[in-house]
Amino acid sequence: MKLDLEIEGQSRQVEVVPGDVPGRWQIKIDDTPIEADACLLRPGVLSLIIGGVAHRVVLDADPDEPVLHLGAQRIAWQADDPRSFRRRRRHGAAEGPVTLKASMPGRVIRVLVERGTHVAAHQGVIVIEAMKMQNELKSPKEGRVTELRVAPGDTVASGQVLAVIH
């Protein structure tokens, strides 16, 4: 299996092939071969031995970004493979309409604008509250509010689109 892995912003070409013995893997990272002994302790928790060095690799099913915990390190990664379950997310272009997304799950406390309001860049649009903390979401650019998808009292998920600004 061949993969393009992006780890902490660096792109790597990786080939991973199961070895003759169960649990052994032949891995090529940018043409450097390594041999790994991997044991899945339980879903998401891998005991990995490479050259006698033991690692605990924990796969974090973070809904926003795939992350590995390795010791104390929290490492963001992406896999780009047509058959992969993790498709690289492409970030939208900066031009045209922009969406205002919830930065955290919570409840809408106030909507500070109406549909059609002209807003300046960094002007407050919506206030969300979670865990006793209020957070004012600001417009990422100057423009007109063309859509308002939430009302006070609504519960929103992290990343949910709350408004569209043209």
Partner 1 sequence: MLRKVLIANRGEIALRIIRACRELGLATVAVFSDADRAALHVLAADEAWRLGPAAASESYLRGDLILEIARRSGADAIHPGYGFLSENAGFAEACERSGVKFIGPPASAMRALGSKTRARQAADRAGMPRTPGSVTGLASLDEALATAAKIGYPVMLKAAAGGGGKGMRAVAQPADLASAFAAAQSEAERAFGSGEVYLEKLIERPRHIEIQVLADEHGHCVYLGERECSVQRRHQKVIEEAPSAVVGEDLRRRMGEAAVRLALAAGYTNAGTVEFLVDEEQNFYFLEMNTRLQVEHPVTELVTGLDLVHLQIRIAQGERLPFVQSDVVLRGHAIECRVYAEDPDNQFMPSPGRITRLLQPGGPGIREDCGIYEGWVVPMDYDPMLSKLIAFAPTRDLAIDRMLRALDEYVIGGIRTNLNLFRRILRDEDFRDARIDTGYLDRLLQSADGGSAPTAGAARAAIAGAAIFEALQARDGNSAGTNASYSSAPSSAWKAAARNEALHTRR
Please say whether the beta carbons of 100 and 126 come within 8 A: yes
Q: Tell me the Ramachandran region of residue 8: left when phi exceeds 0, alpha when psi lies from -120 to 50, beta otherwise.
A: left
If one asks whether residue 127 binds partner 1 (CB under 8 A), the answer comes out as no
Determine whether 145 is exposed, middle or buried from the number of CB atoms within 10 Å of its CB (0-12, 13-18, 19+).
buried
Cβ 55 to partner 1 shortest distance, Å: 4
Range 2-61, binding partner 1 (CB under 8 A) = 3, 5, 7-8, 12, 14, 16, 18, 25, 27, 29, 34, 36, 38, 40, 42-46, 48, 50, 53, 55, 57-61
Encode burial over 52-65: b for 16+ CB neighbours within 10 A, e otherwise.
eeeeeeeeeeeeee
Range 56-115, binding partner 1 (CB under 8 A) = 57-63, 67-75, 77, 79, 81, 83-86, 103-107
Q: How far apart are the first and last CA of the chain?
A: 43
If one asks whether residue 152 binds partner 1 (CB under 8 A), the answer comes out as no
DSSP string, 35-66: EEEEEEEETTEEEEEETTEEEEEEEE--SSS-
Cβ 163 to partner 1 shortest distance, Å: 19
Cβ 36 to partner 1 shortest distance, Å: 5
Binding site for partner 1 (CB under 8 A): 1, 3, 5, 7-8, 12, 14, 16, 18, 25, 27, 29, 34, 36, 38, 40, 42-46, 48, 50, 53, 55, 57-63, 67-75, 77, 79, 81, 83-86, 103-107, 130-133, 135, 155, 158
